[in-house]
Amino acid sequence: MTVSFNEPIKHARKSPNKYGYRHNFAMVPSAEQVVFHDDFTQDVASNLPTGWDAAIIDTGATITQAAADGFEGGVIKITSDGTTEGAAIYLPKQIQLSDQRFFMECRVYTEDADDTDLQFGLTDLTATTNPEDLWTTASADVIAFGTLDGDATVTMLCDKDNSGSAANLGSVDLSDATWHTLAILVEGNSTDGNMTVRGYVDGTLALTWDVETEIPDDVILAPFIGARTGGDANHDVYVDYVRFAFERT
Q: What is the pLDDT of residue 192?
A: 76
Question: Cα dihedral sign for 140, 86, 178, 115?
Answer: negative
| CATH at residue 155 | 2.60.120.200
Q: What is the pLDDT of residue 11?
A: 58
Please tell me the total count of domains within the chain: 1
CA gap 135, 29 in Å, rounded: 28
Angle at 80 between CA 78 and CA 81, to 5 degrees: 155
- On whether residue 182 sits in a domain, the answer given is yes
CB 159 within 8 A of CB 138: no
* pLDDT < 50: residue spans in the chain: 1-5, 7-8
- On whether residue 63 sits in a domain, the answer given is yes
Q: For residue 206, give its domain range.
A: 37-247
Q: What is the pLDDT of residue 181?
A: 98
Q: How many Cβ atoms are within 10 Å of 95's Cβ, its own excluded? A: 21
- On whether residue 115 sits in a domain, the answer given is yes
- On whether residue 9 sits in a domain, the answer given is no
- On whether residue 55 sits in a domain, the answer given is yes
Q: What is the pTM of this model?
A: 0.93
The per-residue pLDDT of the chain, averaged, comes to 91
- On whether residue 15 sits in a domain, the answer given is no
- On whether residue 18 sits in a domain, the answer given is no
- On whether residue 59 sits in a domain, the answer given is yes
